[in-house]
């Protein structure tokens, strides 16, 4: 058990347990709002995929499944590492925690790099909606709609990843150099929750974007 005395308790709380449970609950509520934030875009996706199934299938085949698949693996691994980091924090293993956080953040950066390459490729191929958009498809208009949604959802997701990477790096430094989370691992746990959530979003995005109709 960590040394409870070392946890600073804010004045509105009675004890460490209350403080910790409140923070965790707050984070989960935040995640619920995030689900609905992405939910709005998922509704757009569902409605249009239902309306233009063949255009979506065709457009989806223009996405780079190798990149998407690798990225899924990268995020899943980073989530696993993050889980170990949270564990290290609760065991007060400061160096291990710092290290694991660095690994997590690096995997996040790797994800962003791969995503960036993919974006660059797509811009070259004129798959960024707008004036320059061009696609060899039977129904270019609705393929463009697909790509609009694709850019939107992956973009918002990438924004979340970026925020996560920044936070994780920051926390990693604080763990390594300051030992900031000794007996006080709640922030790391919350960070972990956030990161896992970002991972879950991708787990759903991946098949919806890259694999609508790969078998034909």
Partner 1 sequence: MTTATLQAAPQPRPLTKPTYLADGKTIRSWLLTTDHKRIAILYMISITLFFFIGGAAATMMRLELLTPQGDLVTSETYNKLFTIHGVVMVWFFLIPSIPTVLGNFLVPLMIGARDVAFPKLNLASWYLFMAGGAFAVFSIITGGVDTGWTFYTPYSSTYANGHVIAMATGIFIAGFGSIATGLNFIVTIHKMRAPGLTWFRLPMFIWTIYTTSLILVLATPVLAITLTLMALERAFGVGIFNPAMGGDPLLFQHLFWFYSHPAVYIMILPGMGVVSELIPCFARKQMFGYRFVAYATVAIGVFGFLVWGHHMFVSSQSIYAGMIFSILSFAVSVPSAIKVFNWTATLYKGSIRFQTPMLYALGFVGLFTIGGLTGLFLACLAVDVHVHDTYFVIAHFHYIMVGGMVMGYLGGLHFWWPKITGRLYPERLAKLSAVTIFLGFNLTFFPQFILGYLGMPRRYPVYAPEFQVLNVFSTAGASILAVGYVLPLAYLLWSLRWGRVAGPNPWQATGLEWTTSSPPPTDNFEKTPIVTEGPYAYDAQAAEAELEAGHA
Partner 2 sequence: MRFVGSFLFPESASNLAPNVDHIYLALLALSTAITILVLVVALFFCIRYRRGSKADRTPPKGTPMRIEITWTLIPLLIFLGLFFWAAEEFFAMSRPPADATEIYVVGKQWMWKIQHPDGRREINELHIPVGRPVKLVMTSEDVIHDFFVPDFRTKQDVVPGRYTTEWFTPTKPGKYHIFCSQYCGTDHSRMVGWVYVMEPAEHARWLQRQPAPDSLVAQGERAFHSRGCSGCHVQSSAIHAPLLDGIFGKPVPLKDGSLVIADEQYLRDSILLPNKQIAAGYEPLMPTFQGQISEEELNAIIAYLKSLGDQPRQEGER
Partner 3 sequence: MNEPSARTYLFTGIALLAFLGLTIAAAYVNLGPLNTGVAMAISFAKGALIVLFFMHIRYSKPILWVFVGAGFFWLGIMLVLAMSDYMSRGWN
Residues engaged in binding partner 1 (CB under 8 A): 10-14, 18, 21-22, 25-26, 29-30, 32-34, 36-41, 43-44, 47-48, 51-52, 129-130, 133, 141-142, 144-145, 148-149, 152
Distance in Å, CB of 183 to partner 3, minimum:
14
Under a CB-based contact definition with an 8 Å cutoff, are residues 129 and 18 in contact? no
Query: Cα separation of 20 and 15, whole Å?
Result: 9
Query: Cα separation of 105 and 74, whole Å?
Result: 11
Burial class (CB in 10 A: 0-12, 13-18, 19+), 178: exposed
Which residue number, 43 or 73, has a Cβ lying nearer to partner 1?
43
Instruction: Say which residues have a Cβ less than 8 Å from residue 120's Cβ, sequence separation at least 6.
Output: none
Q: Does 213 bind partner 2 (CB under 8 A)?
A: no
Distance in Å, CB of 131 to partner 3, minimum:
29
Query: Cα separation of 145 and 58, whole Å?
Result: 12
Under a CB-based contact definition with an 8 Å cutoff, are residues 181 and 187 in contact? yes
Q: How many residues touch partner 2 (CB under 8 A)?
A: 9
Segment 8-67, which members bind partner 3 (CB under 8 A)? 21, 24-25, 28-29, 31-36, 39-40, 42-43, 46-47, 50-51, 65
Number of H helices, E strands in the chain: 6, 0
Interaction site with partner 3 (CB under 8 A):
21, 24-25, 28-29, 31-36, 39-40, 42-43, 46-47, 50-51, 65, 69, 72-73, 76-77, 79-80, 82-84, 87, 90, 189, 192-193, 196-197, 199-200, 203-204, 206-208, 211-216
């Amino acid at each position: 058990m960590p040394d409870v005395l070392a946890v600073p308790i804010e004045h509105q709380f009675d004890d460490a347990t209350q403080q910790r449970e409140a923070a965790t609950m707050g984070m989960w509520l935040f995640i619920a709002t995030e689900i609905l934030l992405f939910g709005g875009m998922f509704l757009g996706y569902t409605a249009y995929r239902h309306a233009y199934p063949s255009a979506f299938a065709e457009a989806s085949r223009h996405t780079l499944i190798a990149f998407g698949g690798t990225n899924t693996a990268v995020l899943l691994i980073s989530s696993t590492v993050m889980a170990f980091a949270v564990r290290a924090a609760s065991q007060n293993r400061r160096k291990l925690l710092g290290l694991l956080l660095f690994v997590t953040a690096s995997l996040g950066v790797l994800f962003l790099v791969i995503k960036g390459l993919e974006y660059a490729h797509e811009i070259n191929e004129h798959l960024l909606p707008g004036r320059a958009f061009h696609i060899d498809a039977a129904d270019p208009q609705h393929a463009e709609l697909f790509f609009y949604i694709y850019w939107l959802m992956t973009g918002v997701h990438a924004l979340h990843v970026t925020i996560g990477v920044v936070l994780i790096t920051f926390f990693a430094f604080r763990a390594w150099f300051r030992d900031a989370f000794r007996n006080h691992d709640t922030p790391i746990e919350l960070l972990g929750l956030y990161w896992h959530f970002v991972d879950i979003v991708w787990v759903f995005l991946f098949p919806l974007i890259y694999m609508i109709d790969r078998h034909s």
